[in-house]
Chain A
Amino acid sequence: MTAPEPDAVLQSRRWWRRDRPFTHFVASDVFTPAFSAELERDFRALLTGGPDKSFLRAKSGYDARIYPFSPAIDGPLSFFISRGWHDLLASLADVEVTDDISAALHHHEPQSRDGTAHNDLNPGWFAAPGARTDGINCASSERCDYKHGKPHAPGAEPVERIRAIAMIYFLNNAAWRKGNGGECALYSHRGAAPVETVAPVSNSLLMFECTPHSYHRFLSNRAGTRDSVVLWLHRRREDAVERWGERSIVAWSR
């Protein structure tokens, strides 16, 4: 199945750019009702027992189950790792990125614990070249370890990138009301009060450039599950180091 072009499935042509506490974009009614329904059907099918049933418990204090995309992912959700979506996000954020994408489905059971504030300025390792015809290189654990670069396949030559753009698309969530929780909170710095909270309203999204200041975290979902598609575009490591310095890169703990 070929992923549709963004202009064929986008509903809202008015997104909001906000600059506090750091530059980010929010949008509601992102996709047409028909396409957002397809995405939800695809999500539910995987959540309730896809062919490989590989929603995995996340590590390091993030209270969710995660289904990582593979380069071979098919169906409507493959749109999120398509060339058209990659280029749209990069252009809108005005960030020079590579063709490397890491994407996953996230599922939070009700009463999931708060996350910890972090900025997403982390490394990500990719084995080149990618397997897709559109040039997009989707992270693949079959080829190398995303966090540390250990090769998992013969001939894989992992390259280290740095996360450049984060995107969260909310779907499959019940009607959200204040007090339900599950928001993504945005902070000016670690330990501060949230400047903004983005509610997990289905068919809405949040996107931001990953910088040393892009602190955010998941807030406990007190009512209902909280589902999302999370992805990162990446930049060259040397570009991140030149801009913010070596010490700004947040290495993964082993």
Chain B
Amino acid sequence: MKRVCLLTGASGTLGTAFCRAHADRYDIVAVYRTRPPAVVSQLQRAVDPLEPGELPENAHPVFAVQADLTQDADIARVVEVALARFDRIDVVIHAAVQRTFGSILGGSALIESAEDQIRLNVVVPLKLAAVVAREYWQRDDRDNRAWNRSWINVSSAAAAHVYPGRGQSVYAAAKAAMNVMTRHMADEFRPIGVRVNAIAPNGFPGIVTTSSVLDGLRELDDGSMTGKILSIGRAAAKLS
């Protein structure tokens, strides 16, 4: 039986790659904000213009759900439809990102984005995790352990390193806060049998490959660790 994965940020680079790589292994609730992920879903299926007919890749559609996770009502709705569709949530991957780089001294764009960046990296996973726990995970800790249920936050190498001149101050701070939140979530979710970890890749695709990040997600979901921040391709950056 497939594991049920609630994936936020599904139309992003990592989210789309995850859907393409793992739709045969997970029943994926693919949460997106504006554009549906470019993968097979109930919204779209692939066709070959030269040979119309069913393609093998259409056998594993994701379940795409549009939502603005900064809205409490949408968080509740996402969890409700995920449980209505699949009856379970085995793993949540919070890959939604709101990223604005810029100079602290160089204008207002960075400052104006700060609350949104922190909201999506810290407040949204906090609220979403609370709803998933309240609506499902708190029912049966033994069942959670039997299914090895877990939560994975997608953090960044920027949370632990200063890359000079990149304008990552708010982004890095938000990801650092996410890491701290991850460890606290791990502590609080341990009694209900749910593991909580984060993956902290360097820039992808580029400095590290997207497939290496996917491998890291698999490692965290398949493993038994909790409270871990898994680095992927940490660069030898200078700490200021």
- B41-49, B86-94, B132-140: which lies at the A interface? B41-49
B46: which of A15, A20, A92 is its contact (CB, 8 Å)? A15
Contacts of A20 in B (CB 8 A): 43
**B49 contact set on A, CB distance < 8 A:** 6, 10, 13, 15, 27, 88, 92
Q: Are the C-beta atoms of B50 and A16 separated by less than 8 Å?
A: no
Chain A residues with CB under 8 A of B56? none
For A17, the chain B residues whose CB sits under 8 A away are: 44-47
Task: Tell me whether A18 is interfacial, beta carbon within 8 Å.
Answer: yes
* Contact across chains for B47 and A88 when beta carbons are under 8 A apart: no
> Can you sample 28 A-B contacts with CB below 8 Å?
A6-B49, A6-B50, A7-B50, A10-B50, A13-B48, A13-B49, A13-B50, A14-B48, A15-B47, A15-B49, A16-B38, A16-B44, A16-B45, A16-B47, A17-B44, A17-B45, A17-B46, A17-B47, A18-B43, A19-B43, A19-B44, A20-B43, A25-B47, A27-B49, A88-B49, A92-B47, A92-B52, A94-B52
Number of residues from A at the complex interface, CB < 8 A: 17
Which residues of chain A are near B50, meaning CB under 8 Å?
6-7, 10, 13, 88
The residue among B44, B45, B49 with the most chain A CB atoms within 10 A of its own CB is: B49
List the A side residues contacting B46 at CB < 8 Å. Answer: 14-17
Q: Tell whether A91 is near chain B: CB-to-CB under 8 Å.
A: yes
Residues of A within 8 A of B38 (CB): 16
Chain A interface SS verdict (over half): mixed
Q: List chain A residues, Cβ under 8 A from B44.
A: 16-19
Separation in Å of the A153 CB from the closest CB of chain B? 36
Query: Can you name the residue of chain B whose Cβ is closest to the Cβ of A28?
Result: B38
Q: In the complex the two chains form, what is the Cα distance from A14 to B49 in whole Å?
A: 7
Residues of B contacting A10 with CB < 8 Å? Answer: 49-50
Question: Of residues 149 to 164 in A, which have CB atoms within 8 Å of B's CB atoms?
Answer: none
Hey, which chain A residues are within 8 Å of B48, CB to CB? 13-15
User: Once the chains are docked, how many angstroms separate the CA of A88 from the CA of B49?
Assistant: 7
How many angstroms from the CA of A180 to the CA of B50 in the assembled complex?
32
Interface string of A1-29 (1 = CB under 8 A from B): 00000110010011111111000010100
Closest chain A residue, CB of each to CB of B45: A17
Report B28-61 residues with CB < 8 Å from chain A CB: 38, 43-50, 52
Among A10, A15, A19, the one with the most B-chain Cβ atoms within 10 Å of its Cβ is A15
Q: How far is the CA of A251 from the CA of B50 in the complex (A)?
A: 34
Minimum Cβ distance to chain A for residue B55 (Å):
8
Given contact pairs A6-B50, A88-B49, A91-B52, enumerate 17 new A-B contacts (beta carbons under 8 Å): A6-B49, A7-B50, A10-B50, A13-B48, A14-B46, A14-B48, A15-B46, A15-B47, A16-B38, A16-B44, A16-B45, A16-B47, A17-B45, A20-B43, A25-B47, A27-B49, A94-B52
In the bound complex, CA of A88 to CA of B52 (Å): 9
Name which residue of chain B comes closest to A30, CB basis.
Answer: B49
Q: Which residues of A contact B43 (CB under 8 A)?
A: 18-20
The 10 closest A-B pairs by CB, nearest first: A18-B44, A16-B44, A17-B47, A14-B46, A13-B48, A92-B52, A15-B47, A15-B49, A92-B49, A17-B45
Report the Cα distance A16→B45, complex, angstroms. Answer: 6
The interface residues of chain B lying within 8 Å CB-to-CB of A13 are: 48-50
Query: Beta-carbon contacts of A76-114 to B below 8 Å, as 1s and 0s?
Result: 000000000000100110100000000000000000000
Q: Which residues of A contact B52 (CB under 8 A)?
A: 91-92, 94
How many angstroms between the C-alpha atoms of A15 and B48 in the bound complex? 6
A50–chain B nearest beta-carbon distance, Å: 29
In the docked arrangement, what's the CA distance between A10 and B49, Å?
A: 9
Question: A25-61, CB under 8 A of B: which get 1 and which 0?
Answer: 1010000000000000000000000000000000000
Please measure, in the bound complex, the distance between the C-alpha atom of A251 and the C-alpha atom of B45, giving whole angstroms: 34
CB distance from A91 to the nearest CB of B (A): 6
Min distance, Cβ B195 to any Cβ of chain A, angstroms? 36
CA distance A88 to B51 in the complex (A): 9
